[in-house]
Structure 1
Amino acid sequence: MKIRRRRSKTSYVKRMGRGLGVVLTLAFFSIAIVCLLGRWVFNPAPPMDPVRQEREAFFQELAPMSKEIARQTGLKASVGLAQAALESDFGSSGLAQKYNNLFGIKAGPNEPQVLLETKEYENGEWIEIKAPFRVYKSKEDCLWAHVRLLQNGTTWNANQYQAVFLAQTVEEQVQALGSSGYATDPDYTAKLKEMIEQYQLKRFDQLNEK
């Protein structure tokens, strides 16, 4: 005769407890995933600082022209962009906005020009002077005038900036600009290096190839 054994109520409760634990664990992870996704969708990364956005727009506007100049002449796009940003305060200077002069290029005789006050570093101190600055029809005209100035040198030394084009790296070009006396500012080289690093301008050099 078969004897039926009654199942233990305790073992039944244990099995129910384990099942409930699995369900609760899965529910917990599901809720956590939903919360994370919701946080990602409804709380995206904070927007770029407005000032940083304006400066990035400045670089993006000039980048295509600067890269074309780099392809044709060898002047690194990052170097030209850093100079333009430094000389024109990211395109916000009056000389840049009104006259498309991004580099503070001085005017020669019979060239379109405007007389403006500027600061020059002479004999260990900054002084204010009035000087004639070139007026350009467009920013592109100014960018090309800048590289031609470097290629052709000054009226007293046609080879003054040739070291810039002999340099192989961004750092060497920046150093060549400083040592060739391009600017009177004694910190010009350091400022260019900082500009290139802070705004990651070398990224534009990586896109020089068509």
Structure 2
Amino acid sequence: MGNTDFIKKIAPDAQKIFVNYKILASLVIAQGCLESAYGTSGLAVNGKNLFGVKGEYNGKYVIMKTWEVINGRNVQVDAKFRKYPTWYESMQDLAKLYVNGVSWDPNHYKAVVGERNYKKATAALVDAGYATDPSYASKLNRIIETYNLTKYDTAPSPSNPSTPTTPDTNNPAPVVVEEPEVSIDVFSSVYTTPPSGVPITDSNFRILYKDGRIIDMARDLS
């Protein structure tokens, strides 16, 4: 499957993410292309997992080799990665990460949600520490520009979901907001520990509920 074929396959689902989560389809597509080698990685082929999400999905997983730091040493180990039924669920998990943030900061990716400029969105990802590669944003920008992915930053056409259309401002498409789940730090490419300025203590232990409420276990329940 060629690069453009892969993009055409995931574009309709990325447009659903754009409608439901207010995250640019061009950003999601570019990340899928970069992190899964245009759908050819072992995780993408065997688990429909585009973004290296660890753990299980409804009890399903695939075992892949990965590098972990154990006792200060880089060691290759077998790890569970989520196995999705389709690529859409993989994109949905990425969207929920951006909407819910991480366990220690629910607003960690707030700058990405609702951003309509793809360069600002990719820069916000790097600023938030999504990837360790300093060129991550420029690589995403290059993919977006090469394949003109901004044409997908709109709702999918009801008659042909794979063909992007210009939104009708007089009769906008209804937005179906899917209730996000509680955030879980499972993205292997994401920093999942607080920065050095935020110590892991009881005073930082918070619970994020589905309706957006946050309970600080030390402060609110003391």
TM range (shorter): 0.5 to 0.7
Query: Structure 1 residues 155 and 94 mapped into 2: Cα distance closer, same or farther (>3 Å)?
Result: same
Q: How much is the aligned-residue C-alpha RMSD, in angstroms?
A: 2.5
Query: How do 1:45-194 and structure 2 match up within 5 A?
Result: 54-107=2-55, 112-118=60-66, 129-130=76-77, 131-194=79-142
Letter in 2 for 1:96: A
Quote the offset at 1:109 in angstroms: 10
- Runs of 5+ in structure 2 lacking a partner? 155-163, 168-172, 174-222
* Identity across the alignment (%): 35
Aligned to 2:146: 198
Query: Structure 1 residues 109 and 55 mapped into 2: Cα distance closer, same or farther (>3 Å)?
Result: closer
Contact 2:23 2:115 in 1 (8 A): no
Figure out how many residues of one structure are paired with residues of the other and give that number. Answer: 153
Higher RCO (CA-CA < 8 Å; seq separation 6+): 2
The 1-side partners of 2:118 and 2:12 are apart by 18
The 2-side partners of 1:82 and 1:165 are apart by 16
Tell me the secondary structure at the aligned position of residue 153 of structure 2.
helix
Letter in 1 for 2:127: S
Quote the offset at 1:128 in angstroms: 6.7
The 1-side partners of 2:49 and 2:22 are apart by 22
Letter in 2 for 1:160: H
The 1-side partners of 2:114 and 2:152 are apart by 20
Tell me the secondary structure at the aligned position of residue 23 of structure 2.
coil
Query: How do 1:26-41 and structure 2 match up within 5 A?
Result: none
Quote the offset at 1:190 in angstroms: 1.3
Letter in 2 for 1:149: L
Contact 1:167 1:176 in 2 (8 A): no
Which TM-score applies when normalising by structure 2?
0.61
What per-residue deviation string (whole Å, max 9, x for no partner) do you get for residues 84-128 of structure 1?
0000000000100000001112227996433422468x9xxxx67
Tell me the secondary structure at the aligned position of residue 202 of structure 1.
helix
Which TM-score applies when normalising by structure 1?
0.64
Letter in 2 for 1:67: Q
Q: Where is the helix percentage greater, Structure 1 or Structure 2?
A: 1
Query: Structure 1 residues 111 and 61 mapped into 2: Cα distance closer, same or farther (>3 Å)?
Result: same
Contact 1:67 1:204 in 2 (8 A): yes
Letter in 2 for 1:144: Q
